[in-house]
């Protein structure tokens, strides 16, 4: 049995067996630490290094091709498009491939990675961004699937403004944009999705300044 601690980069091997314990009056399970094989330790080290390298690269944000999903706006209310992004992450992020390579790693041990609160940053062709957090692991050691969910409050447009995912975030709302086109896109999105709901309609005001365009929205 191998015990792997990805956070502390520690790997230990134990020989587990059943022995008779006269004090217990029966058979008990016992474990003794033994030497870890060099090739297993090497593979574990490779996994840890892959994790370090790719986690660092996530901070810059991986670009999702337009053919997969074109914008963070597109995934707010679409579980289908969200899954497209998740599928792309599973298929193209080398970090996830590296974790699944060592066949000696039990799936239950891989589940420990969830406790690392792994968050992947992605960007889209229009400059908008989102973050996905690892929520679970499924499948088998040879065919691992990673489940991700959108990190709440992480959807941003190209100017870094929050893309509202709820009516509460849509009003009141304040965003500052570099172009009138970006401001119009956000205003249209808010009015299309959140105005006219049972809680009341929304009005939005656009103010054009010398170096920015401001959009403010509120409930009527």
Determine contact, residues 14/3, Cβ cutoff 8 Å: yes
Distances (CA, A) of 89 to 30, 97, 119, 127, 200: 41, 10, 12, 18, 38
Point out which residues pair with 138 in neighbouring strands: 145
CA distance 183 to 193: 16
Is the pLDDT reported for residue 110 higher than 70? no
In the chain, domain spans: 37-150, 167-219
Q: What is the pLDDT of residues 126-185, one digit of tens each?
A: 999 999 988 877 666 556 677 889 999 999 999 999 999 999 999 999 999 999 999 999
Q: What is the pTM of this model?
A: 0.68
């Amino acid at each position: 049995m191998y015990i792997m601690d990805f956070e502390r980069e520690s790997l230990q091997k134990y020989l587990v067996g059943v022995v008779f314990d006269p004090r217990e009056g029966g058979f008990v399970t016992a474990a003794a630490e033994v030497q870890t094989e060099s090739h297993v330790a090497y593979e574990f080290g490779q996994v840890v290094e892959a994790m370090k390298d790719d986690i660092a690269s996530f901070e810059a944000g991986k670009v999702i091709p337009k053919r997969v999903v074109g914008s963070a706006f597109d995934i707010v209310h679409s579980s289908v498009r969200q899954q497209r992004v998740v599928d792309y992450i599973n298929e193209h992020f080398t970090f996830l491939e590296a974790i699944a390579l060592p066949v000696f790693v039990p799936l239950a041990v891989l589940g420990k990675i969830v406790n690392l609160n792994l968050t992947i940053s992605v960007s889209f062709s229009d400059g908008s961004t989102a973050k996905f957090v690892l929520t679970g692991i499924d499948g088998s050691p040879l065919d691992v699937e990673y489940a991700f969910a959108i990190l709440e409050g992480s959807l941003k447009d190209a100017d870094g403004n929050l893309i509202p995912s709820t009516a509460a975030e849509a009003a009141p709302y304040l965003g500052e944009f570099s172009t009138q086109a970006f401001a119009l896109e956000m205003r249209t999105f808010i009015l299309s999705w959140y105005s006219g709901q049972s809680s009341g309609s929304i009005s939005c005001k656009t103010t054009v300044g010398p170096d920015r365009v401001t959009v403010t929205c509120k409930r009527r």
